[in-house]
Structure 1
Amino acid sequence: MTKHIELLAPGGDIDCIKAAIAAGADAIYCGLDKFNARNRAQNIDFANLQGILRLAHASNCQIFLTLNIIIVESEIPPLIRLLNKLVKTKIDGVIVQDFGMLYLLGKYFPGLKIHASTQLTTHNEDQVKFLSKLKATRVNLSRELSLDEIQSLASTGHENNMLTEVFVHGSYCISFSGLCYFSSVHGGKSGNRGRCSQPCRDQYVTTAVGKDFPLNLKDNSAYADLQELADAGVDSVKIEGRIKKFHYVYTVVDAWKKQLLRLDKHDKLITDKHDLHKVFNREFSNGFLAGDINKSMFIDNSRDNSAIRRAEIKGGCTDENIQQAKRELYDLKTEIIQTVQKDIARLSIAKAPLTLTVSGEVSSPLKLAVQTPDTSFTVFSDRLAQKNKHCAQGLNTEILLEKFKALNDTEYFIQHIDGENLQDDLFLPFKDLTIIQKKILCILNGTQGVVAPVEVPLLDKPTSLSIRPTLSLLISSVKDLHHLTSLIRSNAIEADIYFQLPQSFKNKYAELRKIFTENNIIPWFPSVLIGEDYRDSVEFLHQLQPQRPQHIVTDNTGIAYEAYQKGIAWIAGPTLNIVNSFSLLCLKEHFNCSGAFISNEISKIQIKGIKKPDDFKLYYSIYHPINLVTSRQCLFHQVTGCHKDRIDTHCIQHCEKTSSIKNLKGRTLFIKKTQGNYHRIYNEVNFLNTDIVTDVPNLFSSFFIDLRNITTKTNREVDTATLIKLFGNYLNGDFDAAKSLKQSLHPTTDIQYKKGI
C-alpha cells in the first residue's frame, strides 16, 4: 500500500498562504519578516500568525515557519524573544539552518519541532544522523540527489525517526544550497541570509559556444516521477516559490494535488505538464533526480518560458506566434487570478471571537464560561471568592479584561466579557486570576499547556589569555607537498600543513593513504561527499585513525559525525557557516568538536561578539581564492563545450579543465574542475584580510593561507618561501609585513569582512 505523501507548498504572503490552502496543500512553509531565507518575499508579521494557524488547522493544513538563516551574535536576544512567543502558538515546525539555533531549540524549546533546511546541504547518511542527534524531526535533502541516493537517505531518516522532504518543483540552483557565496561576494547579499540576488541568472558576455546565460538552469520538475519518489520512501514533496504570486502557487499546488490524489487511489499518473506551463517556468528538467546530469538541463534564457513553449506548440517561435501566445497567457493569467481571488476571499485569517461569562459570589469559586465558535467550556478558580475588604475596586469586567489579555495572543481575541452575575465588591487575588487564565490557555491550546518564558543564560567570555596564533597552510597536490615540506625544513618555518582531500577517492586511495602515512600533515575533508564517495571517505578516515593525526578538518557534517563516533578530534571547516557562540557550543557539547573556523562572511564587529567555549580553538582563513559556487553540474557545457552530453563517473575522476566567463560589468569568474572534484567557480580576485590579526587579538589559535594552485587575477610577486615568511613574521608581531603582503599579493578583496551579513 502506497503511503500518503505530504504536499508542502510555499507561502510568501497571506494571499499565497490562502491560495495554497484553497488548492489543497497539506502543509505550508512561510517566513516572518525576519530570520528567514527569502527576504525578497513579502512574508508575514507575527500579528497575523495566529490567524493563519487557525485558518490552516481548520483546513487540515500544517504551518512550518522558516527561520533558515545563519544568526549573528547580536541577533541572539531577539531570536530568543521570538522563540518564546512561538512556543505559545500551535506552529507545526520551524525550519532551521544555523547550528546555534538548533542548539537553542533542542535545549530550551523542546516543544518546537525542528526541520533541517536544505541550506544544511544534507546528502549522506551520517549527515542525517548528525541532524537527528540535534533533535531534528525532518530534513530537506539537497536538490542534486538521484532517486537511489534519496532512497538511501530516506531509509536512514526513518531508522532515526526523521522524515525526509524533497524539492520537486521550482528553481534549481547552480550551486549546492548553503555553499553558494556568489551573491555575498558580488553584491553584499548573502544567500545564507536570504538575500540572494541570483547572479547565476544574469546575462554574461557571450561564451565560446554562443551562450549568454551560461549558469542558468531550467526549473526542477519531478511531476512524472511521483511514483518513484514514493517508492524511495519520501515523506513530503516540496514546491519552491516563496517569491511567487498567489496565482502561481494555486496553479502549481492544484496540479500536484491532483497528481498525489491519483497516487493515493493507485490511478495512472499524469505525464502532461500542461497546467504547470501556464505559469512562470524556465522549462523543466528532472536531471538530478533521474541521475542524468546533462547539458539539456541548461536554458539560455532567464525569463519566463511559457510563451515560447506555447508558440512552439502552435508552429514555431515566430514573432507573430510569440505575441499571440503572450496574449493568450495574459488572458489565462487574468482568468486564474479572478478565480483564485474568489476562492481565497472566502478564507479569513481573522482570529476567532472569545466570550467570557463570569459569575461568582462570596465563599464560592469564581466561575468562567468560555464560548468560541468551535467549542465551549467552563473553568473555576481554585480559591473561594472573598468580600472585598480593600480600598481598591472589586472585581469587574475592566479588571478581568486587563488580567486576561494574554488570551488575545492566541488564535482568539476577547470579544466580550459578561459580568452580569458577578457579585459586587468581590475580591480574588491577582495570582488566582492568573491561574484561571492559564487553565483557559491550556484548553484553548489543546494539550500544549502554558509555557513559561525561557531565559537563556548569556555566555561568559572565556578567561582572557594571550594567544600566539600559529600559521597553517592548505595544499591539495603531492607536488605541492614535497615542495612545501622542503621549503619549511630549509627555511626553519613554523607552520602546520593541511591537505585538501578530493570529493572522490576512487583512483587515488592508495596514493593518498601513503601521503598521510609518510608525512606529518592534517587531512581536510570537503563539503560534498555523496554515496560511494562518502563511504570511501569514511573508510579513509578509519584508515587514518591508527596514525592518530592531531585532528582533522571537515566541511562535511557526515564526516564530523563519524569522527565524533570514533573519538577523532575534529575542526569544523569554514563552509559550515559558523557565525555565533551557540553554534560553537552546539558542536562542542553534542559532537566533542575541538575547534572551528569562523565564517569569512562576517565582519569585524560580528566576529568580536563571538565567545568561544573553554578549551576550544578558533580558526580563520586570512588568504584564499574565494570559492563562489560548488556545482554537481558540468559548467563547461555552456562555456567552452564538451564532447560529452552528460557527466559520468569518469568525468569526476579524470576531468581537469579551467575556463572563465565575464559578466556585463566586466568582472571575470574563473571556472575550475580538478580530478576527483566537482566543478567550482572562483571569484575574480582572492580574499586577503591581514587586519583581523590586530582587530581581534587573542581569539584565533591559527590563521590559514591557501596555497592551492587556483588561477585568479590576484598576482603573487614573491616566491612561496618568502610569502610564508611574510605571513609568519606578521603573526609574530612584525606589523610592517602586512604592508609587504598587500604589495606582494594584488589585487585582493576583503569586502565581506568590511560589510558582514
Structure 2
Amino acid sequence: MIKKPELLAPAGSLESLKGAINAGADAVYLGGKLFSARAYATNFDTETLKSAIDQCHLFGVKIYLTINTLLKNEEMDSLYNYLLPYYKQGIDGIIVQDFGVLNYVKKNFPDLPVHGSTQMNSHHYEDINLLEQLGVKRVVLARELTLSEIKTIKENTNIEIETFVHGALCYCYSGQCLMSSILGGRSGNRGRCAQPCRLQYTLRKGQTLDRNYKSKHFLSPKDINTIEVVPELIDLGVDSFKIEGRMKGPEYVAGVTSIYRQIIDEYIEKGNYNKLMLTKHHNTLLELFNRGGFSKGYYYGKKNEEMLSMDNPKHQGRVIGEVIELHNKKITIRTFEPIREGDVLEVGADNTIPDKLKVMEYTDKNKHLKFILKNPYKGKGLNTIKALKVYRTKNELLLKELKDQYISTDKNILLSATFKCIKNEPMVLELKDKNFKIIKKGDKVEQAKKQPLSKEKVANQIKKTGNTFFAIDHLELIMDEDIFVPISAINHLRREALETLENEILSKYRRNNEATQSVMPVFSHTNTSKKVIASFETIHQAYHALSIPDLDSIYVSCHPGEYGVLEAFIKRCHEKNIEVYVLLPYVSRQKDATRHSEWINQLEHSSIQGYVVKTLGQLKQLQNSNKEIVLDYNLYAFNNYAINEWEKLKAYHYTVSPELHYKDMKKLPLEQFDLWAYGHLPLMVTDQCITHSMKTCNKQNEEQYIIDRYHKAFRVQSKCDGCYNVIYNTNPTVLIDQMENINRLNIKGLRLHFTNEKKEDIIHITSSFIEAFKHNKMVQLNIKDFNRGHFLRGVE
C-alpha cells in the first residue's frame, strides 16, 4: 500500500491558517513573534497562537512552530518563557536551525519533537544520520537534491524526511547566504532577508562586461511547481510535502494547498492522476504567483537557465491577451478569454510598459479594451508592439472563489446529537463525532403547566453551536409531549456539552508535566597562545606563505588526486613548524560520496593536524578521527548551548560567525574560536552556475564577476570539481585596526583567508597581522576599500 505523505502548508496569518485547514492541509507551520525566519510575516502573538494550536487540533491538523533563526546568548534566556505556553498547549513540533536551540529544547522540553530546518543544509544521508544521533525527529532536506539522491537518503536513514514541493527557492544552498546580512545588515539567518538575489546584476569576465547579459536577474530562481513530480515523491516514501509561502496571502495558501491535496489524494486512491486537470491546475498556480513561469526545482537535476527568472523576478501572472494598437498614451489590447472588473493587467514579460492596467468595466461582447497610460510609450515601432503579450497579474474572480470557498466559509466538525427530555428525569445530551462521545446531564424536566415545549423549538436551540467549530448535522430527539424546561437551561446544557467535547478532543494534546529551565552552560576561560592562520583556496597559493616568520597554521583546500602534492607541502610546512589543516568542500553530495570517502581515508593516513569541516556529514564521517576538527563559520556556534551540543560530537574548535558583533562574542569561550580577520567573505554557495546560466562554461576558471547597481564587483568562483559556485564579497573584511578589541576577547586564532591575492600581498598582509596580533605592534595596511563585517555593527 502506498504511504500517504503529510501535506504541510504555510500560515503567516489567521486567515492563511484557516485557508490551509479548509483546503485540506494535514499540517501547518507558522511563526510566533520571536525567533522566526519570516520576521516580516504577520506571525502570531501568544494567545492567538494558542488558539491556532487548538483550532488545528480540533480538525486533526498538526501544527509546527518555527524557531529557525540563530540566537545570541542573551536571547536564549527568553526562549523558555516563549516556548512554554505553546508546549503546554500541545504544539506538535518545532523547526530549528540553531544547534543551541536543539540542545536547549532537548534539555528543557525532552518530549517535544524537533525538526531540522532546511537551513541546516542536509544534502547527504550522513548529514541526516548525525541529526538523528542528536535526537532530531524530522529533517527538511536541502532543496538542491535530485530524486535519485532522495531515494538514496531514504534507503540509508530512519527518521522522517520533508521536501519542498511548491514556492520560492533560494539561489544559494539554504543557510549558506550572507549576502543580505553583509551588504544590508538584514540577516536571513535572523529572519530578515532583504532578498538581494532578486536584484539586477551585470556579468563581467575579466575586465570585459558581457553586453549580451547586461542588467539581468542572474540570482533569481523561478518558483518551483511539482504537481507532475508528486507521484514520484510519493513512491520514494517522502514523509512530508512542504509548501513555501508564509509571506503570501491566504488565497495563495488555500489555492496551492487545495491543488496539491487533490493530486495527492487522486494518486493515492487510483495510482495515477488526471493529466487533463494538470493544465487547469497549472494555469491556476500561474495566476496565484509565478516569476516568469515555474521550474521543477532540482528534482531532475539542475537546468540552470530554465530555473531562473532573469528578466522579471516579480509576479508575472498568465498570458490572456495581446496589444493590437499602441500610440503615445493610448493602448488597445485584445483578450483571449473573459476578464472581469477588478482584474489587473500588465504588458510585456519584463514590464515593457510599467503601468498596471486595472479593469474598471468589461463585457464578454467587447474583446477590445482601451487604456490611457501615465507616460507616453517610447518603443521601437509596430513590430515591437505586436510582440507584446498581456499578462493578468490579478484574477479577481479566482481570488473571490478561493476566498468564498476556503476563507470566508467556516469549516465545521460535524456532530450527531441525541437529546432526551423525559418528564421527571434530568435532560440528557449526547454528542458524538467520529472519535469522541460525551454525555451531559442537565436540569430536571417538569410537566408543562401551560404551553409545552415543541420539538421544533428544542431542535433549533440544540443546533445553535455559536462561534464554536462544531455543527450538528444529525439530531435525534427523545421527548415527552407535555413537558417544560427553561430555554436558558437547554442553552446552558448545550454550551456545557460542546465545551466538554472540545476539552475531550484537545486533552490528548495538552502537556501537563512541568518543564524545568536549564542554566546557561558556562565554560572555564583559560589564557591561550595566540595563533595566526593563513587560509588558501589552493596548495599552489599556500606555498607563498612558507617564508613568513611566526605563522602558526595553514588551512588549505585541496582535492582527491592532489595527495602527493599535499604530502610534499605538509613536509615543507612541518620543517617550518607550521600546522596544516585541510579545508573540506562546502558541499559533499551523493555523487561525490565514494571519491570523498577515499579522500578522507587518505587524509587520515597523512600527517595533517586536522580538518576544517563545512557540513554535518563531514563531521559524521570524522567522528572517530584522531585529528583535530575545526568547525567552519557556517556550522554555527552562535551561543553556549550550541557549543554544548557540538561537544557531544567531539568538536571543540570553532569559527566565530561573521554576523556577531564583538560584544556578542564576549560570553563565548573564545579561546576555542578562530576569528575571520581578513578576506573576501563567501556570500553565497550555490548549486547554480553563473556561466552555465549564460550557456557557456568556465572550466578554465576565468575571473568572472557580477556587478550590482552600485557598480560593486562580486567575484564568482566556479568549483567545477564539486559543481557549485561561490560568490565572494566585493571588498575584503579587514580587522587589523580592531586589535584592541580583539585582544580583550582572548581569541584563539586569527584567520586570514586568501582567494586571488598576489604573493606579495599575502606576505605583507599576513606579516602585518602577526606583528599586530602576536607582538602588539601598531600596524596599518594600505588597503583602500575594505569593510569590518559585523564586528562593529552586528545584526538585529
State TM-score, norm by structure 2.
Answer: 0.75
After TM superposition, the structure 1 = structure 2 runs for residues 326-337 of structure 1, keeping only pairs within 5 Å, are 327=359, 329=392, 332-337=395-400
1:705 aligns with 2:752: yes
Query: Which structure has the highest helix share of the two?
Result: 1
> Per-residue deviation at 1:181?
0.5
* Residue of structure 2 equivalent to 1:423: none
* Residue of structure 2 equivalent to 1:153: 153
Query: 3-state DSSP class of the match of 2:17?
Result: helix
Counterpart of 2:152, as a letter, is S
User: Cα distance 1:277–1:690, how it changes in 2: closer, same or farther (>3 A)?
Assistant: same
* Residue of structure 2 equivalent to 1:299: 309
* Residue of structure 1 equivalent to 2:406: 343
> Per-residue deviation at 1:710?
6.0
Is the CA contact 2:666–2:745 (under 8 Å) kept in the aligned structure 1? no
Structure 2 unpaired stretches of 5+? 204-209, 326-330, 336-344, 348-356, 360-390, 414-430, 441-468, 470-488, 490-501, 575-579
- Which shifted more, 231-240 or 24-33? 231-240
Query: 3-state DSSP class of the match of 2:170?
Result: coil
User: Cα distance 1:443–1:164, how it changes in 2: closer, same or farther (>3 A)?
Assistant: closer
User: Cα distance 1:539–1:750, how it changes in 2: closer, same or farther (>3 A)?
Assistant: same
2:757 & 2:152 partners in 1: Cα distance?
35
Is the CA contact 1:48–1:349 (under 8 Å) kept in the aligned structure 2? no
User: Cα distance 1:450–1:705, how it changes in 2: closer, same or farther (>3 A)?
Assistant: same
> Per-residue deviation at 1:337?
3.4
1:4 & 1:497 partners in 2: Cα distance?
51
Query: 3-state DSSP class of the match of 1:657?
Result: coil
* Residue of structure 2 equivalent to 1:209: 212
1:142 & 1:719 partners in 2: Cα distance?
38
1:549 & 1:756 partners in 2: Cα distance?
35
Structure 1 unpaired stretches of 5+? 351-370, 379-410, 412-417, 419-439, 645-650
Aligned counterpart in structure 2 of residue 625 of structure 1, from 666, 677, 680? 680
1:565 & 1:447 partners in 2: Cα distance?
41
After TM superposition, the structure 1 = structure 2 runs for residues 411-490 of structure 1, keeping only pairs within 5 Å, are 445-446=507-508, 449-463=511-525, 465-485=526-546, 487-488=547-548
Larger radius of gyration: 2
* Residue of structure 1 equivalent to 2:233: 229
- Which shifted more, 23-32 or 226-235? 226-235
1:499 aligns with 2:556: yes
* Residue of structure 1 equivalent to 2:82: 82
* Residue of structure 2 equivalent to 1:320: 333
* Residue of structure 2 equivalent to 1:388: none
1:172 & 1:564 partners in 2: Cα distance?
32
* Residue of structure 2 equivalent to 1:660: 705
User: Cα distance 1:511–1:46, how it changes in 2: closer, same or farther (>3 A)?
Assistant: same
Aligned counterpart in structure 1 of residue 290 of structure 2, from 281, 292, 296? 281
> Per-residue deviation at 1:8?
0.9
After TM superposition, the structure 1 = structure 2 runs for residues 75-154 of structure 1, keeping only pairs within 5 Å, are 75-154=75-154
* Residue of structure 1 equivalent to 2:733: 687
1:115 & 1:187 partners in 2: Cα distance?
30
> Per-residue deviation at 1:515?
5.0
2:324 & 2:557 partners in 1: Cα distance?
53
Aligned counterpart in structure 2 of residue 734 of structure 1, from 749, 773, 776? 776
Q: Deviations over 1:323-362 (max 9, x none)?
A: 4897594773344235425633444999xxxxxxxxxxxx
User: Cα distance 1:292–1:552, how it changes in 2: closer, same or farther (>3 A)?
Assistant: closer
1:672 aligns with 2:717: yes
2:24 & 2:405 partners in 1: Cα distance?
15
2:524 & 2:733 partners in 1: Cα distance?
29
> Per-residue deviation at 1:555?
1.2
2:101 & 2:324 partners in 1: Cα distance?
52
User: Cα distance 1:294–1:708, how it changes in 2: closer, same or farther (>3 A)?
Assistant: closer
Counterpart of 1:594, as a letter, is Y
After TM superposition, the structure 1 = structure 2 runs for residues 28-47 of structure 1, keeping only pairs within 5 Å, are 28-47=28-47
> Per-residue deviation at 1:560?
0.8
2:318 & 2:286 partners in 1: Cα distance?
10
User: Cα distance 1:634–1:307, how it changes in 2: closer, same or farther (>3 A)?
Assistant: same
Is the CA contact 2:117–2:140 (under 8 Å) kept in the aligned structure 1? yes
User: Cα distance 1:580–1:691, how it changes in 2: closer, same or farther (>3 A)?
Assistant: farther
User: Cα distance 1:444–1:693, how it changes in 2: closer, same or farther (>3 A)?
Assistant: same
Is the CA contact 1:54–1:349 (under 8 Å) kept in the aligned structure 2? no
1:45 & 1:731 partners in 2: Cα distance?
47
- Which shifted more, 318-327 or 209-218? 318-327
> Per-residue deviation at 1:86?
2.8
Q: Deviations over 1:286-338 (max 9, x none)?
A: 251111433222222334454354448999xx972584897594773344235
2:537 & 2:394 partners in 1: Cα distance?
57
2:61 & 2:607 partners in 1: Cα distance?
52
1:642 aligns with 2:695: yes
* Residue of structure 2 equivalent to 1:7: 7
Q: Deviations over 1:415-471 (max 9, x none)?
A: xxx9xxxxxxxxxxxxxxxxxxxxx999963275412141211333514x3333111
Query: 3-state DSSP class of the match of 1:576?
Result: coil
After TM superposition, the structure 1 = structure 2 runs for residues 372-391 of structure 1, keeping only pairs within 5 Å, are none
Query: 3-state DSSP class of the match of 2:752?
Result: strand
After TM superposition, the structure 1 = structure 2 runs for residues 13-24 of structure 1, keeping only pairs within 5 Å, are 13-24=13-24
Is the CA contact 2:118–2:175 (under 8 Å) kept in the aligned structure 1? yes
State TM-score, norm by structure 1.
Answer: 0.79
Is the CA contact 2:11–2:28 (under 8 Å) kept in the aligned structure 1? yes
Counterpart of 2:765, as a letter, is L
Query: 3-state DSSP class of the match of 1:745?
Result: coil
After TM superposition, the structure 1 = structure 2 runs for residues 350-389 of structure 1, keeping only pairs within 5 Å, are none
User: Cα distance 1:304–1:480, how it changes in 2: closer, same or farther (>3 A)?
Assistant: closer
* Residue of structure 1 equivalent to 2:161: 164
Query: 3-state DSSP class of the match of 1:88?
Result: helix
> Per-residue deviation at 1:593?
0.8
Q: Percent identity?
A: 25
1:179 aligns with 2:241: no
User: Cα distance 1:699–1:346, how it changes in 2: closer, same or farther (>3 A)?
Assistant: farther
Counterpart of 2:774, as a letter, is N
Counterpart of 1:466, as a letter, is N
Counterpart of 1:298, as a letter, is L
1:501 & 1:755 partners in 2: Cα distance?
34
Aligned counterpart in structure 2 of residue 554 of structure 1, from 613, 620, 632? 613
Is the CA contact 1:183–1:199 (under 8 Å) kept in the aligned structure 2? yes
User: Cα distance 1:288–1:18, how it changes in 2: closer, same or farther (>3 A)?
Assistant: same
Is the CA contact 2:202–2:213 (under 8 Å) kept in the aligned structure 1? no
Is the CA contact 2:539–2:556 (under 8 Å) kept in the aligned structure 1? no
2:104 & 2:606 partners in 1: Cα distance?
36
1:253 aligns with 2:257: yes
Is the CA contact 2:108–2:515 (under 8 Å) kept in the aligned structure 1? no
1:115 & 1:32 partners in 2: Cα distance?
16
Is the CA contact 1:155–1:233 (under 8 Å) kept in the aligned structure 2? no
Is the CA contact 1:55–1:349 (under 8 Å) kept in the aligned structure 2? no
Q: Deviations over 1:247-295 (max 9, x none)?
A: 1111111111111011111133534212211211111112511114332
User: Cα distance 1:201–1:470, how it changes in 2: closer, same or farther (>3 A)?
Assistant: same
Is the CA contact 1:441–1:450 (under 8 Å) kept in the aligned structure 2? no
- Which shifted more, 36-45 or 83-92? 83-92
User: Cα distance 1:455–1:546, how it changes in 2: closer, same or farther (>3 A)?
Assistant: same
User: Cα distance 1:443–1:253, how it changes in 2: closer, same or farther (>3 A)?
Assistant: closer
Counterpart of 1:257, as a letter, is R
1:324 & 1:214 partners in 2: Cα distance?
23
* Residue of structure 1 equivalent to 2:425: none
> Per-residue deviation at 1:89?
1.9
Is the CA contact 1:629–1:680 (under 8 Å) kept in the aligned structure 2? yes
Query: 3-state DSSP class of the match of 1:136?
Result: coil
Aligned counterpart in structure 1 of residue 654 of structure 2, from 596, 616, 639? 596
> Per-residue deviation at 1:128?
0.5
> Per-residue deviation at 1:64?
0.7
- Which shifted more, 539-548 or 229-238? 539-548
Aligned counterpart in structure 2 of residue 267 of structure 1, from 269, 272, 286? 272
Is the CA contact 1:513–1:540 (under 8 Å) kept in the aligned structure 2? no
